[in-house]
Structure formats: C-alpha cells, structure tokens
Structure 1
Amino acid sequence: MALPLKSVLGARVRELRLAEGLTQEGLAEKLGVTPRYLAGIERGERNLTLDSIDALAHQLGVSALSLFAVRSEQR
C-alpha cells in the first residue's frame, strides 16, 4: 500500500534536514515559519502549496521533485 504523499514529503524533508545538520528551529527560521508548522510538515499533517514545496526544496538544496522520492524503507 502506498503512503500518502504528505507522509512521503514529510519524511523526506526530515531526512534532508537532518543530513544538513539543521534543527527544526533552524530550518523553520530559514523558511519563515514556526517550528511547530515545520514539525507538522514532517509528520505529514500539512497540506502544502506548490510555492511552499519550492521554498522547502530551495532551502534544502534539492529539486522540488526529489522531495517526493519514496525510499525503500518508506514503502
């Protein structure tokens, strides 16, 4: 069974944030959102706009499409 797209995106954001050595607070500050909002994204609870996805990708240094890459352990 496929995971909801919001869950895939959230897990990928968390993975990339941790790989960059960023805290939720640090990335949230760069994005201009609250840490609580970013936590909701990472938990797959937020329904993001395309502009928000572009901003996330830019801050994480990846393409927007790569945020939707499903890892084998997520399946």
Structure 2
Amino acid sequence: MELKAAEKLGSVLRARRVALGVSQEAFADQIEMHRTYYSAIERGEKNLQIDTLQRVCAGLQVSLWVIFKEAGL
C-alpha cells in the first residue's frame, strides 16, 4: 500500500530532525509548536497548511521544495 502524502512528508521531516540530533520535544519547542502536534505531523496524521510546513522547514533549515522532492511529491 502506498503511503499518503502526509505520511511521506512526516517520514522526511522525522529523518531530517533525527539527522540534526534534536529530540521531538526540543524541536517542537524551537519552532514554538506543541510536541504532540508535531509528533502527529511526523506520523503523517496531520494535513499541513503551507505556512505550518514552512515553519517546520525553517526550523530544519531546509527549503520546502527540498522536502517535497525527498518525499517524492
């Protein structure tokens, strides 16, 4: 079964965060987002608005288009 777009994005975001060596809680604090909400993003349970995704990308220091490309979207 193919992953949904939100799941693909979440997987890429998680990999980027882990590569930075930052915990979910610390990263969520850094981007001023509740940890449980950010956790749901990484699990692909949230359909993100572009401004929210841009906020996450800014925290990861990566452009939005790179995230889409890595997710295969």
TM-score where L is the length of structure 2? 0.88
Aligned to 2:71: 70
After superposition, give the CA deviation of every residue in 1:17-71 in whole Å (9 maximum; x if it has no partner): 0000000001100111111111100000011110011111111011111222137
- Percent sequence identity over aligned pairs: 34
Question: In the alignment, what sits opposite 2:13?
Answer: 13
Deviating beyond 4 angstroms after TM superposition, the runs of 4 or more aligned structure 1 residues are none
Aligned positions of 1:46-61 closer than 5 A:
46-61=46-61
The CA RMSD over aligned residues, in Å, is 1.4
SS, match of residue 62 in structure 1? coil
Q: Which runs of 5+ in 1 are unaligned?
A: none
SS at match of 2:21: coil
SS class of match (2:71): coil
**Can you give the 5+ residue segments of structure 2 that lack an aligned partner in the other structure?**
none
Q: Give the alignment's TM-score, normalised by structure 1.
A: 0.86
